[in-house]
Amino acid sequence: MAAAATMATSGSARKRLLKEEDMTKVEFETSEEVDVTPTFDTMGLREDLLRGIYAYGFEKPSAIQQRAIKMLVLDEADEMLNKGFKEQIYDVYRYLPPATQVVLISATLPHEILEMTNKFMTDPIRILVKRDELTLEGIKQFFVAVEREEWKFDTLCDLYDTLTITQAVIFCNTKRKVDWLTEKMREANFTVSSMHGDMPQKERESIMKEFRSGASRVLISTDVWARGLDVPQVSLIINYDLPNNRELYIHRIGRSGRYGRKGVAINFVKNDDIRILRDIEQYYSTQIDEMPMNVADLI
């Protein structure tokens, strides 16, 4: 009986795994009274429900916990604000002891960051580091009109031989898209590496070591790679997805063509991305032309 139960459990686990793998192909049929909600965000749940059991007991630190907290460090503060965590940050600060040291680290100093320093800090010491001089100078920028999302993958496959002439980074907007694209490329027998913020630090360091050494030539990544990581050999950037905000554009493509080398950036543009592309052109006073057939000669 125990063996049978084990087999049954193993079988059901396999079925569950298969179901999870096939979730992208699932079609839902519901009655008129029932709506399918694809994500928790669209459900409009209260914040305490979204935090769930993982946050239970931590939203209001006990007196002992409060005494143990000596320092609050807010890293990438501008990115946290962009992702809508302003109220949550204020909630955390509200429960800290007055003597807690606050360290705020940010790549930029928008109005919201300055407002935060006024609320959190008393006579703060500012340490300003010379700006990383990213520029579009020397980078040839092109776009490929793909019309629909599903056409991007075939376009990327057509460009693969061009990618491996040099080292290339392909940017996606989400971790899920990075994982999906990496799997699709490998299934099609293309050699790629991938990296995003959910990977353990040790794994990311190993991937970057391979990429820097040239053992890996094509890296698929989220914007975790766009800030502060330099690989001089990279001279081709592909925006599989256009960035969510125009400031990220220069962080992405400014990584190519550094140290006097030539650089090329290729943007995949769907019909509904045209407005974003024009906004980027206007913001940077630049021109992004349609990709020529001889793009390999420009790298």
- 33 assigned to some structural domain: no
pLDDT tens for each residue of 85-115: 778 888 788 878 888 888 888 877 777 778 8
For residue 63, give the CATH number of its domain: 3.40.50.300
Q: By the 8 A CB rule, do 223 and 243 touch?
A: yes
- 174 assigned to some structural domain: yes
Residues 198 and 240 in one domain: yes
Residues 214 and 91 in one domain: no
Residues 107 and 197 in one domain: no
- Of residues 93, 160, 183, the one with CA closest to residue 104: 93
- Of residues 119, 113, 131, the one with CA closest to residue 93: 119
pLDDT tens for each residue of 237-261: 999 999 988 888 988 887 665 555 6
Confidence at residue 165, expressed as pLDDT on a 0 to 100 scale: 74
- 235 assigned to some structural domain: yes
Residue 5 exposed, middle or buried by CB count within 10 Å (0-12, 13-18, 19+): exposed
User: What is the residue range of 110's domain?
Assistant: 45-120
Which helix (H) or strand (E) element contains residue 3? helix 2-21
- 211 assigned to some structural domain: yes
Overall number of domains in the chain: 2
Residues 115 and 143 in one domain: no
Residues 110 and 146 in one domain: no
pLDDT tens for each residue of 63-93: 766 677 888 888 878 777 777 777 888 878 8
- 233 assigned to some structural domain: yes
- 8 assigned to some structural domain: no
pTM of the model: 0.62
Residues 148 and 223 in one domain: yes
